[in-house]
Every structure is written in C-alpha cells, then in structure tokens.
Structure 1
C-alpha cells in the first residue's frame, strides 16, 4: 500500500527550508485585538449590504424598464386642426 517513510526524506533541504520559514512566520505573527477583528467584520458586512442594495436597485430598475418596453403602445387619436363651424366659410389662403 504505502511505502514506509525514509529517514533520509526528513533531511530534505527543501523541507528544512519550509520549516525554517514556518518558524520565522510564527515568531513574528501577532494576533490582532478582538476590536480590530470585529471592526473588519462590520466593514465587510456593510460592503456586502451595500452591494446587495445596489444589486436589488439594478434588478428592480431593469425590471421596470423591461416592463415599460414591453407595454403595447397605442397612439392617441389626433384631434382636428380646426373645429368646423357651419356659420362661417373656411378661410381661403391669400393669393
């Protein structure tokens, strides 16, 4: 199944370099205070909510625009230019 590990593999130079890098990183790492972590979380939540609000506005606006575009357009009837009057003759154009 699996071969037994070689003792010489533990002496691999790449492995020792990774171990040194890990020890160096652990020695220099400092945990942030809880207040900073909470602040970052709140900022991330505000950004997510803002992005969600923008998305909702775009969906609602796009849906409204699509609905207006799909509505049938019926032109209103055009009224006559002048109202006819039986008592007066229509004016003749000047010569």
Structure 2
C-alpha cells in the first residue's frame, strides 16, 4: 500500500505501471468496478475484529498473477498472502471483471 497508493508513495507511477502493466487510474477504475460486483472486494473484519486485506491489496494480488503469468507461489514472500487467498482473489477478480465489463467490452 505504502509503495504505490499512499499520498506520498515510496515508488512513483512508473514503477506501478511496470508492476501492473497499466496506469494507476485504470487500475483504480477496475478496483471500483469489482467492489460493486463482488462484496469480497470490500473492506471487512474477521471474527477476531481484525481487518481483512484491502480491496487494493486483493486486486493487486490477482492482477499481478495475471500480468506476470507465473505461479502464484512466486509472490509468497513479497505479498505475504496464503495460497488459498491468492487463488480466491484471482478467481473472484476474473468473475467480477466479466460481470462488470461484459456488456460493454465482451
């Protein structure tokens, strides 16, 4: 989050474009669209009242898997997310994008 999305990010927009293969504005538009399509991408709390991953984190995780085309295990140390969460994020993102953009683009 601090690397790309805070007001004064650690890395500038060029680095975000390299990581996600898209402009920050397009990425944020996709995040907004999938939040409207699937409640999984909204901020929530677990039974212990801990915050879940943010919508930005979930979308970044899934899109990074798509744009790099490598195994989800590659992101273990960098993103610190368990395998089931990576798989769920990717699956739900794909379905939400299809629902959100089907009429216009597909």
**Structure (1 or 2) with the greater helix fraction:** 2
Q: TM-score range by the shorter chain?
A: under 0.3
Higher Rg: 1
Q: TM-score, normalised by structure 2?
A: 0.20
Q: Which has the higher contact order (CA 8 A, sep 6+)?
A: 2
TM-score in terms of structure 1 length? 0.22
